[in-house]
Amino acid sequence: MNSPQPKLFNKKEQPAPELSLFLPVLDEEENLRPMHAKIAEALNSLGKTAEVIYVDDGSTDKSLQILREIAADDSRVRVISLRRNYGQTAAMSAGIDAAKGEILIPMDADLQNDPKDIARLLDKLNEGYDVVSGWRKNRKDKLIMRKIPSQIANRIISWIGGVPLHDYGCSLKVYRR
């Protein structure tokens, strides 16, 4: 099995940021600029140092080009480009490996997560938790194909694991290193 070979673009070495936000990206050209605008607004309101790592997972559209443009305009942004599509798990792993912050924040690039929720998750983390999970309460997925199977899986996993989460599949979380 081939392991992903990340290619890092941009940015000089800087002191470690407090927050590392990382997003796997696959063919999200329509969502990237609006998503980054929301991320920038949310991060600006936090008053913390942050980096945003976009991991392009072999996109075939203009996602990588758009990400490079975003990185040229925002010094907090780094772009990792995987040579081909390795899947969300590999892209997340590449983001974790590249992250320099003490607090890790993964999230999806498809506008299903609201970056404004990061502040609420950080508030909970500051109450002493090591991990806080988001919840895609108003999912945009199709009911039969995604929502119902997800609800069933969440209930089974909660029952087996004993941790009552509403949405195990939500990528938006905050972790302490």
CATH (domain of 93): 3.90.550.10
13 pLDDT above the threshold of 70: no
> What pLDDT is recorded for position 74?
98
Count of domains for the chain: 1
- The answer to whether 169 touches 135, Cβ cutoff 8 Å, is no
Instruction: Using pLDDT thresholds of 50, 70 and 90, give the confidence band for residue 158.
Output: very low
Evaluate whether residue 15 is within a structural domain.
yes
> What pLDDT is recorded for position 152?
57
Evaluate whether residue 69 is within a structural domain.
yes
Lowest mean pLDDT among 13-27, 84-98, 100-114, 163-177: 163-177
Q: In what order do the strands lie in the sheet with 7-9?
A: 7-9, 77-82, 50-57, 19-25, 103-106, 173-176, 131-133
76 pLDDT above the threshold of 50: yes
- The answer to whether 81 touches 5, Cβ cutoff 8 Å, is no
Share of the chain above pLDDT 70, in %: 70
Evaluate whether residue 150 is within a structural domain.
no
Instruction: Using pLDDT thresholds of 50, 70 and 90, give the confidence band for residue 129.
Output: confident
Evaluate whether residue 91 is within a structural domain.
yes
Evaluate whether residue 57 is within a structural domain.
yes
